[in-house]
Every structure is written in structure tokens, then in C-alpha cells.
Amino acid sequence: MCGIVGYVGKDNAKSVLVESLKRLEYRGYDSAGVALLTDEGIRTFKKVGKIRDFQVELNKINLYSNIGIAHTRWATHGKPVINNAHPHLSCDGKVALVHNGIIENYSSLKEELLSKGHNFVSDTDTEVIVHLIEEELKSENSFFSAFLKALSRLKGSFAISVITVLEPDKVFCARKDSPLVVGLGDGENFVASDVPAFLPYTNRVVFLEDGEVAVLSKDEVSFYDFSGVPLSKEVMTVPWSISQAEKGGYKHFMLKEIYEQPKAVADAIRGNSGWFEEGAPLDFNFEQLEGIHIVACGTSYHAGLIAKFYIESFSRVPVNVDYASEFRYRDPVISDKTLIVGITQSGETADTLAALRLGKERGATTLAICNVIGSTATREADGTIYTYAGPEISVASTKAFTTQLTSLFLFALWLGKVRGALKQEEFESLYGELLELPSKLESFLNTERKEGTVKELALNFYKAKDVLYLGRHVNYPIALEGALKLKEISYIHAEGYPSGEMKHGPIALIDERMPVIFLATKGRVYEKVVSNMEEVKARKGKVISVLNPSCKEANNLTDYPIYVPEVNEFLSPILNVVPLQLFAYYIADFLGYEVDQPRNLAKSVTVE
């Protein structure tokens, strides 16, 4: 996730900005850049790689300025190379801009600006914004109004900071769906995407809300809405240490990442909706596609199991899902009409890379579903669908999983459309329901934040020795994922099963000490799951259920209900997994374990 910093004040902006960027390193980045306003105009400096190396280079440059902006980039559009690093400049070099987020309409804006003679030097969506401001300046009578005019043309998410020689003592900022916070100092002011950036200088902060603008000068900060109407904003004092602030006040990265899911899912939707207008996510004859092999490991494998339901139901293309570590030893049937889809958050998992390579060797086309731009999988595969989760720091995967599912759902919808298997009304209804998913996730998480249902449940069960997770259809893989999360971070034995399979063996385990977690939300298998709940109840098992408030039959059989909003059954896994992530998180925390770094596990497994 990119990081923004802006400074105007009494100190050497170069040092303040680089030190502040270092405090945003935890967000992950692949390149960094700084723009400083000097008597000779704007000077920019950029580097791919580590900030400490960048700092060494900058220290050698003798340059003093009191105002500037800086950025750490985590690539989304365009590779991690110098030209794509921010800040970006207008053609005349009078405006410099840094941006976090995704500009959805950047292609059409870029076309328009190119036709008006603007010269682009990067592959980023960001660069359109600075050219748009430059274009608006031709007809507007102030920089501020040109800035507002440009904002009104942007679709998507953005946190922006801008400096300009036309207003040499101001930093202009705006926020929509991407965080931005102002730090109020004494004779100096700051803006950043996160509080730790400026915490050594001030803990007096103003959080910008969506649709708000801030204009910073050395001695004051003014706030406006996007139409330029002044706003008065509340100043808050943040009582956090730097390490608490990095986690946004959450105790662990895992909890922060769980709570980031509404935004991450919204970003995955934004980032991957372009195919419906712009065409295929990779160069392949999809009409001739005969079959898909999905290869992945761990949590990504569970996303693959759900993707099978999506792709087969929406596009009628047959799908096999394999553990990547097994795929190459089973001599799979592959042809040039086969697509191999490797799902990998990191893009570096050795088994998944090997499976993709095998597919390629045998003449298939390969597609990576990946979160990390420039990773090996994205370089080697014929095409990539990015998941836009932002960096995931906790070893146990949460938001990477829900954004994989979101991206795969979109891919399946797209495939269904191009193959003519999905009617326009079905497409519109499914897509419409997907668009509502981020707010439903938000609503569940807000209720949990207030009521702590899952936390209390974890307090009841953290001493359990075994936990059984049961689900059917698209929620069977969620049972597997819930069990994996619990095993990984709390070291409690857990198993996931399709609930219809229970009577063929695992039912022998059920007694009054066995917690059984059911995924019992509305869908085609709801009644079947209710029957399976009866079987557990009859054997005195303790029933915990993830269910909708309208699931009366399931509720009657449940000892500990966790209510989630009702969504289309195909989307229910993306919502239902969230309470299971929280359950695992709180149990591990109650047991006093290192939640973010569980024993024996690594964030990317680069060995076979």
C-alpha cells in the first residue's frame, strides 16, 4: 500500500519527508520519491528499492527547501520502475503530485489529455491527475479551483497531495476512499496517509473524510468540501506510540488487515471491473477454452476451490483445482486450449510457480492471480489479475484471501459473459450484489467492533482441544479456511469438512466437549445444513453458527450464533470467512501467542 507524506514548515523538508517515509515502510513499497519546491522550481528525486539507500543518495544533494511531498509506491498500475514512481509532474513542471488509490476512469482521461497534447512518461493511473490539473488551469483563475475541478472528474479512490510553484507556500490535499490525515505542528504542518509518519513531530491530528480537501501552509490548515465550501474539523490528540500507530491502533497487523477488508474488497472490484469495457485480462482465445486447472497452496487453494463454483456456474467451463505441490506429480491433461490459473498472494510460492511452469511447458496459457506486482508469478505467467489487497504483513492471510475471491468472482462473471453462458440480467444482478458487498462487510465489522460477539465466543472456547468446521457448496472451502486459520495461529487442532460427509466418519468425534462451527447462511444447501446441525445437536455437540438473522431453523439449533448480513450465496464465502478469521485471531490472542508471526510459518514459502 502506497504511503504519502507532505510537509510545509520551518525545517529542511528533504530530511523531514524521508524520515517520515521511513516510518511508513511497514506498509510495504517498491520505490520511493520526493518533490521539493525550490527557488528554481520543483525538483524531484526517485529511487526503486529501499528508502535507506534513497536517503544516502539524497544526503549527498545539497538542497534546502521548507516544503515538499513524498511517496512510497506499491505498484498497482505499471511496474516498479523509476518512471512509474511518484511524484508525477505536469508537462510544464509547475505541479507535482503524489497519489494513493486507483483512478478507475484513467484510460478515458488519458486519451482525452493525450489528444490535448499532454505528454505522459509513466504507465500509472496517477499521472492523469497532474495533467488534468494542468489542463484545468488553462480555464480556471486560481490553482485551488483548478484542483477542485480536476477532482470532480476523477472516478475511483484517491488520497492526493500536491505542490505547485503557483502557490509556493501551500500543500493541497484531497481524500476519497483512501486515508489521509493532517498533523498540526507549531510553525509547521504535515499530511500523511498514516499517523506514524509525523508522530515524532506532533500528535495533534485531523482525519480527512471522503470528499474533503485540506490546504496546508506553515501556520495554518484550511479544510473544504469538494465544492470549495469551508469546513470546520475536529482536532484529535492521538495517544499512540509509533509501533501502535503503524498498526492503526490495532493490537496486531492481522486484526488491522481483517478490518481493512471492506476497503480491500472495494479496491479489488474497482481494479478488476475494467475488463467488461476494455476486454480480456489476458491474450487468449477464450471461446476455444476447454478447461481450467487452478493451482495454489494453503489459503489460496481454498480460494481456488470456491473459484471452481464461480467459473463452472457462470461460464460452464470445467475446472480442476489442485494443490500446486501435487499437480506436477499427477500428469495432468493439458493442451493449448487449457488455461492454468495460479493463485498466489505473494507470487513467490515455489510449488505454485513450478505448477505454472509445468502448464506452460505443456503448451497451456498461464494466468496468475496475485497481490504483489512484479513478483515472479506475474513476470512468468502470460497474464496477471491483481487482487489489490495492499501489502499483507500478518503471516496468516485474511484480506489477500477475500480479494482473491472478489477478483475470481469478477473473472468468472467476465468469462460467463464472453462465453455467452451468463444472461445479461444474471450478470447485472450478480455484479450489482458484488458492489454492495463492501458495505455489508463494513456493517458486520462495525457491529462486531461495538458488540464483540466473536471475541466473547473466543473467550468461551480458547481452551478447546479440537474444533470442527462444517459447511457445504461454496461454504465447504470456508470450513477448510476457518480450520486452517485456527490451526495456524492458535495451534489448536481443527478440521473442516463438507457437512454432508460428517455421517461418514467424523460424527464419531462429536460429544459435549466438541465445538462445531456451522456455516449456515441462506443458499441452496441451507436446509441440508440444518439437517446436519440436527445430527450434531442429537450428539450433544456445541453448535456455533455463522448465519443470517432470517435463518430461524438454524438459529433454533444453535448455541452460539454469529449473525452476518444476507448476501447472494456465491458471495457468502467472502463475508462468512470474516467471523472465522476473528475467532482464530481472538483465540490466539487469548492464548498469548505471537499472532502476526506464528511458529514454523513464513509469509512466502519459496522452497518446495
Which positions touch ligand F6R (CB under 6 A)? 297-300, 344-346, 349, 352, 396-397, 488, 604-605
Check if the beta carbon of residue 545 is closer than 8 Å to that of residue 517.
yes
Closer by beta carbon to ligand F6R, 541 or else 573: 573
Distance CA 397, CA 179 (A): 22
Smallest distance, Å, CB 365 to ligand F6R?
20
* CB 136 within 8 Å of CB 118: no
**Residue 268 and residue 403: Cα distance in Å, rounded?**
6
**Measured from the CB of residue 299, what is the shortest distance to ligand F6R in angstroms?**
3
Place of cell 486450449: 337
For ligand F6R, the closer CB: 103 or 297 = 297
Q: Give the list of residues 6+ apart from residue 290 with CB closer than 8 angstroms, or none.
A: 317, 318, 335, 337, 338
**Sign of the torsion angle spanned by Cα atoms 345, 350, 351, 353:** positive
Give 515's strand partners. 542
Residue among 272 and 371 whose Cβ is closer to ligand F6R? 371
Angle at which helices 424-451 and 453-461 pack, to 10 degrees?
70
CB of 57 to ligand F6R, least distance (A): 32
Q: Tell the smallest beta-carbon distance from residue 595 to ligand F6R (Å).
A: 12
Is 603 tagged catalytic?
yes
Query: Please, which residue, 352 or 545, has the CB nearer to ligand F6R?
Result: 352
Q: For ligand F6R, give the closer residue by CB, 130 or 340.
A: 340
Cα dist. 7→16, 45, 50, 161, 192 in Å? 8, 16, 21, 10, 9
Residue bearing cell 502476526: 596
- The least distance separating ligand F6R from the CB of residue 573, rounded to whole angstroms, comes to 15
Distances (CA, A) of 392 to 28, 127, 384, 401, 403: 8, 26, 19, 10, 11
In the bound complex, which residue of the shown chain has the CB atom lying closest to ligand F6R?
A: 298
CB 596 to ligand F6R: min, Å: 11
Q: Using alpha carbons only, what angle is made at residue 157 by residues 392 and 92, rounded to the nearest 5 degrees?
A: 110
Residues 607 and 1: their CA atoms lie apart, in Å, by: 26
Least distance from ligand F6R to the Cβ atom of residue 296, Å? 6
Cα 11 to Cα 65, 360, 387: the distances in Å are: 8, 55, 39
Secondary structure class of 116 (helix, strand, coil): coil
Between 299 and 315, whose beta carbon lies closer to ligand F6R? 299
Our CB check for ligand F6R shows the closer of 348 and 569 to be: 348
Write down the least CB distance from residue 130 to ligand F6R, Å: 34
Q: Tally the C-alpha atoms within 13 A of residue 409's C-alpha that lie toward its C-beta.
A: 25
Measured from the CB atom, the residue of 21 and 385 that comes closer to ligand F6R is 385
**DSSP state letter for 125:** S
Side by side, the strands of the sheet bearing 212-216 are: 88-89, 95-103, 156-164, 167-176, 212-216, 221-225, 230-231
Q: Are 431 and 270 in contact (CB under 8 A)?
A: no
The per-type count for the chain, helices as H runs and strands as E runs, is: 20, 25
**Residue among 2, 173, 297, 370 flagged as catalytic:** 2
Is 46 among the catalytic positions? no
Bond prior to 262 in cis (omega within 30° of 0) = no
At position 485, the amino acid (one-letter code) is: K
> Least separation, in Å, of the C-beta of 343 and ligand F6R?
7
Cβ nearer to ligand F6R, comparing 66 with 352: 352
CB of 256 to ligand F6R, least distance (A): 15
- Cβ proximity to ligand F6R, 17 vs 489, nearer residue: 489
Is residue 265 within 8 Å of residue 389, measured between CB atoms? no
Which active-site residues does the annotation give?
2, 603
